[in-house]
Structure formats: structure tokens, C-alpha cells
Structure 1
Amino acid sequence: MDIRAKIGERIRELRDKLNLSQKDLAYQADLDRSYIAGVEKGQRNISIVNIEKISNALNMNLNDFFNDAKFNS
């Protein structure tokens, strides 16, 4: 699995745990809903700045965001 897919999957998992819609996450991260959808599908090459925005919107820091088994391979 490539890194874009791993990041997208991680965002979707975390968003689902918080019962947030893509629209709600996008609003909280100051990003477009269609951008969030593309990232979750692994279709967008997300910047570290936007990963930080999304992490903050999910109430976590970058260390916690990347602290997942899918990033250990």
C-alpha cells in the first residue's frame, strides 16, 4: 500500500471513530470536502501542512496520527 493510501485510510478510521462526516472534518480543518474525499481515497498527494490541519481537527498531534501499525512497514 502506498503512503497516500495509508494516510487516507488513517484519516477515515479516525474520522469514523469521532462520528464526523467528511464535511464536518473539512470545515474544522479549513479544507474542502472534496479534498478530504480525495485524500481518503488515496488520490491526493497531501501536504504535511494539511496533515497537520486534519490532525488538529481530529484533536491529535502528528506523533499520534502516525503512531499506527500501517506506518511501521
Structure 2
Amino acid sequence: MKYIEEHKILELKQRIPVEIGNRIRIFREKKKLSQTELAMMIGKDRQYLYKIEKGKVTSSIFTISVIACALDISLAELIGEIKV
């Protein structure tokens, strides 16, 4: 069995939310949506979406899936290029 080193876990914990947030912002801007518009589409407030895009919160896979759905992209398309 392979154990993941603590420093790797901490690095992922810091990096992954930021990368997901950046990709959400990129797709949101491609769709010409404001944070407020996307937040309304997913039933969240703009401030929460801002925190997701800045990587300040770690969202559940469910919330990330709802955002992908609202952006009319697959979950794989949203997170597919993020390396672990």
C-alpha cells in the first residue's frame, strides 16, 4: 500500500481549490456571465462564488458539478486538466 506524504496532501489542499476556481472563472467569462448571474443559477450568493473562484473555500464535488452543469460543460471538462 502506498502512503501519500503529508507535504503532498498539504500542497494539494492549497493548490486544487485555486486551480478549480481559476477554471470556473475562465469558463464563466467565456459564457459572458457575471459572478452574480452564475451564483443565481446555482442557488448560491455572489460572495460564495467569489470565494470558490479565488480558492478560498473547498467546495464539494456536488457544488462543482452543479457549477459545471450551469456552465453547460462536463465535470471532466472543468477539472480534466488539473494535475494531482
Instruction: Compute the TM-score of the two structures, normalised by the length of structure 2.
Output: 0.78
Ranges in structure 1 where 5+ consecutive residues have no aligned partner: none
1:9 is matched with which residue?
Answer: 22
State whether structure 2 residue 59 is matched by structure 1 residue 46.
yes
Q: How far apart in 1 are the matches of 2:23 and 2:77?
A: 11
Structure number with bigger Rg: 2
Runs of 4+ in 1 over 2 A off after TM superposition: none
Ranges in structure 2 where 5+ consecutive residues have no aligned partner: 1-13
Identity of aligned residues (%): 37
State whether structure 2 residue 49 is matched by structure 1 residue 66.
no
Deviations 1:12-57 (A, max 9, x none): 0000111100000011111111110001111011110100110011
Aligned Cα root-mean-square deviation (Å)? 1.3
Q: How far apart in 1 are the matches of 2:40 and 2:26?
A: 18
User: How many correspondences in the alignment?
Assistant: 71
